Amino acid sequence: MKKWRSCSSENLNSKPRICAEKWARESFKDALSYAYENENGREIVDGDVLTEAYFLSRLGVVRQQLAAGGVRLAAALEDIFQGQQYGANNGVALAQRLIA
């Protein structure tokens, strides 16, 4: 969870693009590692039919990305609406339940 909130409050408030670019790079890395090859390691090409095994083998990554996005969104909203420092403590518990 700490990794998901690793962009500092200072960057989020003064240079939000830094945080967004960092998170986009993380997502791109996951996409390259998991999305473009089938469950057997073969490149997916137009017209391939994706199997249930493909979807199930990626489900953990999808859940993790959704939880990370939720934590980051919660932190940003807390900063905006409550003036608190970056650190979605309430979002962490929810994210833990989502990926469990």
pLDDT band at 8 (very low <50, low <70, confident <90, very high): low
pLDDT of residue 86: 45
Q: CA–CA separation, 95 vs 69, rounded Å?
A: 9
Query: Which sign, positive or negative, has the C-alpha torsion 76, 81, 86, 87?
Result: negative
pLDDT of residue 49: 92
Predicted confidence (pLDDT) per residue in 22-38, tens digit: 888 888 998 888 888 88
Predicted confidence (pLDDT) per residue in 57-93, tens digit: 999 999 999 998 888 887 777 766 775 444 445 555 5
